Structure 1
Amino acid sequence: MPIRTNRGRAAVYRKLWGWPLRSPRHLAVAAFVAALLITAAGILIPKLAGTDTPRASGTSTQTSETKVFGSRTVVVPPGAGGTATATETRVEPTLTPSSAPPAPEALGVAKEWATAFVTHPEGISPETWREQLRPFTDVEYMVALDSVDPRNVFATAVTGEPRVVVSYDKSVVIDVPTDKAVLRLTLIETEQGWRVSDYTEGEG
């Protein structure tokens, strides 16, 4: 039968609160139940709040592993084991000088190019001067020569034979002396033969 009055409810509450004090046994049972409730609350509340994050038994730091495969360097992420599926960085192979001397054609082309370079009589147009260089120049490098004005070339004659600085399988660096400066030419082997792909001027 439901309790309908405040006096009745108060009497029930007094019985509940007074029950643990009736005997040591009741007190022990009440303390045990209270301990169970507190423990259960401590477990359930963090889970309901979403803060129960599992913790690792120890602290460990994982780093990426770099593996080299031939001419490729591959970065392997942590936990990927031996499978290299991450970022790939290409490493260009280092050029090794060849023990063989450069082709005689390369020396001839270097001297022809240097001769055309220092030939710029007064009044010659930049276009005409560049056309003198075209037969001995790599096609792509002709674009760079568009910015060169023959009036700024002070050498007027080749004064010595070409000298090899370093030789590779498909390229060679050659110095050609002039009356004003040493022309250091880089030549590459193309389908059309050896062609100049770069030049710098040093002290004569």
Structure 2
Amino acid sequence: MPIRTNRGRAAVYRRLWGFPLRSPRHLVATVVAVAVVVIGIGVVIPRLLGPQGGSGPAAAGSSSSTQPSATTDVTSAPLSTRLTAPLVQPSSAPPSQEALNVAESFVRAWASHPAGITNAQWLDGLRPYTTVEYLNAQMASVDPVNIPASRVTGDPVVVASYTSSVQVLVPTDGPKLSVTVSRTSDGWRVSGYDQAS
């Protein structure tokens, strides 16, 4: 049986590995020291590698001179990954009368739900005015019995108008509906609606 003494290499290793377990204070000090070392490495290494992380053209060395460059007008400044504005700003345009007619017709069909109408019959009434995606994904789950309106009570009012979409407010005897009409390959179609506040 080996005799453990306070001398020798194994004893030194036992003392080092046993240090964090001697007391809670030693454990906390060890965790803090390890965290400081890890954060320090995380800060120092990127500074040593530079802004491109060692994977740019300078790190490629002589092999990049033998391969032709795909683009020659690339700047060396790093690209920002933060989006500060939409990629394409929609252009405002005068509202299309066809879009207004589609919005009003959609709301009339939406509010038309006589007693005994099935969901399939109600959806068939909405089909000519609604995009296929919106009809199948959103409108198919709506029960016509829960519609809080029965008729349109006024003319549609344009809230916002762009070249490819129009947002229209349509009053009913229940809530006002905010309807989004989008230009599609089939013409103007409703791509969304919500109750206006």
- TM value normalised by structure 2: 0.59
1:95·1:168 contact (CA, 8 Å) conserved in 2? Answer: no
Q: Which amino acid aligns with 2:117?
A: I
CA gap of 1:103–1:84, structure 2 versus 1, over 3 A, is same
Q: CA RMSD in A?
A: 3.3
Q: Secondary structure at the match of 2:94?
A: coil
**Structure 2 residue aligned with 1:72:** none
- 1:61 matches 2:47: yes
Q: In 2, are the aligned partners of 1:184 and 1:202 still within 8 Å (CA)?
A: yes
Write the deviation string for residues 24-59 of structure 1: whole angstroms up to 9, x where unpaired: xxxxxxxxxxxxxxxxxxxxxxxxxxxxxxxxxxx9
Q: Matched residue of 2:196: which SS?
A: strand
In 2 relative to 1, CA 118–80 (structure 1 residues): closer, same or farther, beyond 3 Å? same
Q: How far off is 1:168 after superposition?
A: 1.4
In structure 1, how many angstroms separate the alpha carbons of the residues matched to 2:160 and 2:50? 40
Alignment counterpart, residue 115 of structure 1, candidates 93, 97, 108: 108
**Aligned residue for 2:56?**
80
Kindly report which structure 2 residues correspond to 1:1-204, keeping only aligned pairs within 5 A, or say none.
61=47, 77=53, 80=56, 82=75, 93-98=87-92, 100-143=93-136, 144-203=138-197
User: How many angstroms does 1:154 deviate by?
Assistant: 1.4
State percent identity of aligned pairs.
39
Q: Deviations over 1:104-140 (max 9, x none)?
A: 1000000000000000011111110110000000011
Cα–Cα, structure 1 residues 62 and 145, in superposed 2: closer, same or farther, change >3 Å?
farther
Q: Where do 5+ consecutive residues of structure 1 fail to align? A: 1-58, 66-75
Shift of 1:92: 5.1
Bigger relative contact order, structure 1 or 2, given CA contacts below 8 A and separation 6+? 2
Shift of 1:175: 0.7
Gaps of 5+ in 2: 1-44, 58-74
Measured in 2, the distance between the counterparts of 1:184 and 1:64 equals 52
How does the TM-score come out when normalised to structure 1?
0.57
Partner Cα separation in structure 1 for residue 114 and residue 134 of structure 2? 23
